[in-house]
Chain A
Amino acid sequence: MSAPDLLFYLFAGLTLLSALLVVANPFSRNPVTSAMFLVLTMVFLSGLFVLLHAFFLAAVQILVYAGAVMVLFLFVIMLLDVKEEERRRIKAFSLGLGATGVGGLFLLIVISIFKGESGAGGYPRIEGSTFELGRLLFTNYLLPFEIVSVLLLVAMVGAILLSKKDLK
């Protein structure tokens, strides 16, 4: 096993572990702890991007997600003064149903990945360079890019409408 392989398994395992701790932390129900584990998830995920030679994405992942977005998350959690979540009782039936669904999907995906031909798809078009990525984003992928900008406007208007104090 070469060093990149080893690093891949390391980062992938750590990403999964910290993602699990975001939603199901047995030691703490504090939202701030969850948010900090989300930061860790983002950091490890950017490690996976580096291994894929997507250096720009890795940098953006750290700068934007682990940095800016998570700071906002923490602001919101602290401003709203979210208390520790109570443990909710989940019915055995819904737990069983959910576990069957998730387990079935997981099995299906694992089986298809092992049965499928690996690397049958495309080759890397651009190797991590910001210049190429930017050119692609503003030529071939300009339309989805602009649609997303409208989407962000909608999200902003919606968030203001739904959180406004007075209903007038």
Chain B
Amino acid sequence: MNTSLISLELAVVGLGLAFLLLDLWTPAELKRQLGHAAAVCTALLFVFSFFVDASYVREAFASAYVMDPLAIYFKRFFLLAGTIVLVLQVQYADRIKSGISEYYSLTLFALAGMMFTASAMNFAVMFASLELVTITLYVLTSFQRNRLESLEAGVKYLIMGGLASALMVFGIAFVYGSAGSFVFIDIYEKSSTLIGNSVFLIGLLLVLVGLAFKIAAFPYQIWAPDVYQGSPAPTTALLAVGSKAAGIVLLLRIIYGVAPGVMHQWAPVLIAISAISILYGNLCAIAQTSLKRLFGYSSIAHAGYLLLGLAALNATGASAVLYYLTGYLFTVLAGFAVLVVALQQLDSDDLSGLAGLNERSPLLATAMTMSMVSLAGIPPLAGFFGKFLLFKAALEEGAMQPAFYWLVAVAIVGVVISIWYYFNVIRAIYWPRQKADLTPITVPLPIKATLALCMAGMLFLGIFPSIPLELTSRAAAVLPWLH
């Protein structure tokens, strides 16, 4: 057993404990700055992760935990997202009335949970780490106890999340009962004999239901807009990027690495879920005036796009999903960084609060515009190339399963609809309906750095796709189905 493989996670858990204790000896006026210290630590861990050797597959804990290119890809993803979210939290600190250091350390624990999901190779680790993420997020969503919306978001997320977890455990029990193993790779080897066993199939279905909840895909999307709107903005950012990516990495492992044969049969179901998510998210987003709610609906649509790549079940699809998620990280976090700074003085997150942002702070306006353009999938930014890759993966399968052509058609309609509401945000910035107050906003240095990083990421992924594409296809290549 090689415990050095979990060094990154151990470090993050250790950081979480350290910041929980540091709170005791830190004077009240310095507590806010603890977040910057935490962000520096996670950034250092991000750098350190490039020295971790993950070029080949290494296992620990009786094949329950794996360190391979896919796992390290997602660990870096989570560390980067965690660092940015911590910076946003410092900026948001004056709106958190109590326990700001706990806000940081709980985020670190959620981060550790996400990093464990990236390496989970059996159902027990998968469930435990997913629960670590979800339960921490229950607390983080209801962190602004003085705001009723935040508490409401917490309760809604708790009830829906509890139901999803219960269904997932039920499913895991069925899978274990029929396959006789928790370990993904064992089940993969037996999967040809299990394909006709309906107990195994219902178990797998229930596990997928639990994961569909995490990524907010169609029949389990109902919580997303309310929870996104009610939670504190940095928590929403963590939900949108981290929680979704944790669901996606497990979907990749299960769809491509537990029973791909079954998934091949179920392609029509995945196609339908993907199409409905895309249409539902995009159509509902049109009428929104709350920025966070808009992000909530757009996140449902993006779950649909990601499912499109998962349903394709080919190498292009898996690598496109990774590429798209990485672009999504920079894009969404840039949007949330602007949201946190620009709407600091306001109590709401209404679109009208962005009015005249281009004169108040050109940097924020540019970042928000780029974020929206990238989300809408317009070249040359990351969102365009990600969608292009996903559609390409689906079209490759179109010859065998004509439904994929329809799915791509629906997705393109979805993209066209989405341009409408994303540009609505841009219009709210540059051409406001009513006179805006034009006091300049001073953007603090850490936020400037974050925005610069996100904008650079969006441009880089959009203009030089070959380098990241090589990384994503190497990461995706470890999935058993693609050998």
Query: Which residues of the partner chain A approach B341 to less than 8 Å between Cβ atoms?
Result: none
Structural contact, B62 and A155, CB atoms closer than 8 A:
no
- Is the beta-carbon distance between A116 and B109 smaller than 8 angstroms? no
Binds B, one of A22-30, A77-85, A105-113: A105-113
- Please encode chain A, from 93 to 115, with 1 for each CB lying within 8 Å of some chain B CB and 0 for all others: 00000000000000011011101
Using Cβ atoms and an 8 Å threshold, which residues of chain A touch B154?
Answer: 162
Query: How many A residues touch B, CB cutoff 8 Å?
Result: 33
B135 contacts the other chain (CB 8 A): yes
* B98 contacts partner chain A, Cβ-Cβ < 8 Å: yes
| Residues of A contacting B102 in the complex (Cβ-Cβ under 8 angstroms) | 157, 161
> Does B271 sit at the interface, judged by CB under 8 A?
no
Q: Mark B58-70, 1 if CB is under 8 A from A, else 0.
A: 0011101100000
Binds B, one of A1-9, A61-69, A138-146: A138-146
> Is the CB of A92 closer than 8 A to any CB of chain B?
no
Known contacts A148-B128, A157-B20, A158-B106: A143-B198 contact under CB 8 Å: no
Look across to chain B and name the residue whose beta carbon is closest to the beta carbon of A155.
B135
Residues A109 and B202 in contact in the complex (CB < 8 Å), given A141-B124, A154-B109? yes
Give min CB distance, A98 to chain B, whole Å. Answer: 11
Given the complex, which residues of B lie within 8 Å of A142, measured CB to CB? 61
Which stretch from A31-39, A42-50, A118-126 is at the chain B interface? Answer: A118-126
Answer whether residue A150 sits at the interface, using C-beta atoms and an 8 A cutoff. yes
Distance in Å: Cβ of A152 to nearest Cβ of chain B: 9
Tell me the nearest residue of chain A to B146, going by C-beta: A167
Partner of A121, one of B109, B136, B178: B178
Which of A122, A143, A166 is in CB contact (< 8 Å) with B125? A143
Q: Are B202 and A147 in contact (CB under 8 A)?
A: no
Cα separation A140 to B202 with both chains bound (whole Å): 26
**B152 at interface (Cβ–Cβ under 8 A)?**
no
Tell me the chain B residues, 112-156 only, with Cβ under 8 Å from chain A: 112-113, 116, 124-125, 127-129, 131-132, 135-136, 138-139, 142-143, 145-146, 154
B348 at the interface (CB under 8 A from A): no
A161 partner, pick from B99, B177, B180, beta carbons under 8 A: B99
Tell me the nearest residue of chain B to A123, going by C-beta: B180
In the complex with contacts A112-B199, A142-B61, A144-B125, A122-B176 CB distance below 8 A: yes
Docked complex Cα distance between A32 and B201 (Å): 40
Q: How far is the CB of A112 from chain B (nearest CB, A)?
A: 4
Q: Does A86 contact B (CB under 8 A)?
A: no
| B96 → chain A closest CB, angstroms | 10
Residues on B with beta carbons closer than 8 Å to the beta carbon of A76? none
Total interface residues on B, using CB and 8 Å?
Answer: 49
Given A154-B109, A154-B132, answer yes or no on A113-B61 (Cβ-Cβ < 8 Å): no
Instruction: Provide the residues of chain B in CB contact with A116, threshold 8 Å.
Output: 178, 197-200, 202
List residues 198-213 of chain B with CB under 8 A from any CB of chain A: 198-202
Say yes or no for A151: interface residue by CB 8 A criterion.
Answer: yes
CA A79 to CA B176, docked complex, whole Å: 41
Q: Contacts A112-B202, A120-B199 given: A154-B116 contact, CB under 8 Å?
A: no
Instruction: Known A143-B64, A167-B98, A168-B97; judge A120-B178 contact (CB<8 A).
Output: yes
Given the known interface contacts A117-B197, A161-B99, the answer about A167 and B145 at a Cβ–Cβ threshold of 8 Å is yes
Q: Is the CB of B65 within 8 A of A154?
A: no
Give per-residue flags for B422-462: 1 if the beta carbon is below 8 A from chain A beta carbons, else 0. 00000000000000000000000000000000000000000
Q: Which residue of B lies closest to A143 (CB)?
A: B61
B284 within 8 A of A: no
A105 to B99, CA, bound (A): 42
Q: How far is the CB of B28 from chain A (nearest CB, A)?
A: 9
Asked if A154 and B135 make an inter-chain contact with CB atoms under 8 angstroms apart, the answer reads yes
B258 at the binding interface (Cβ < 8 Å): no
* Interface residue B477 (Cβ < 8 Å from any Cβ of A): no
CA distance A52 to B62 in the complex (A): 25
Tell me if A89 is interfacial: C-beta within 8 Å of chain B: no
The one of A113, A117, A122, A166 that contacts B181, using a Cβ cutoff of 8 Å: A122
Residues of A with C-beta under 8 A to B199: 112-113, 116-117, 120
User: CA separation between A104 and B8, bound complex, in Å?
Assistant: 43
Does A164 interact with chain B (Cβ within 8 Å)?
yes
Instruction: Enumerate chain B residues within 8 angstroms of A167, measured Cβ to Cβ.
Output: 97-98, 145-146
| Residues of A close to B98: CB separation below 8 A | 161, 164, 166-168
- B106 adjacent to A154 (CB under 8 Å): yes
Contact in complex: B106, A144 (CB < 8 Å) = no
Q: How far is the CA of A142 from the CA of B142 in the complex (A)?
A: 31
User: How far is A141 from B120 in the complex, measured between Cα atoms in Å?
Assistant: 12
Flag if A122 contacts B139 (CB, 8 Å): no
B476 at the interface (CB under 8 A from A): no
Q: Are A147 and B61 in contact (CB under 8 A)?
A: no
Chain A to chain B: the 3 pairs with minimum beta-carbon distance, closest first: A122-B180, A158-B139, A116-B199
8 example contacts (A-B, Cβ-Cβ < 8 A) are as follows A116-B199, A122-B176, A122-B177, A143-B61, A143-B64, A147-B128, A153-B109, A164-B98
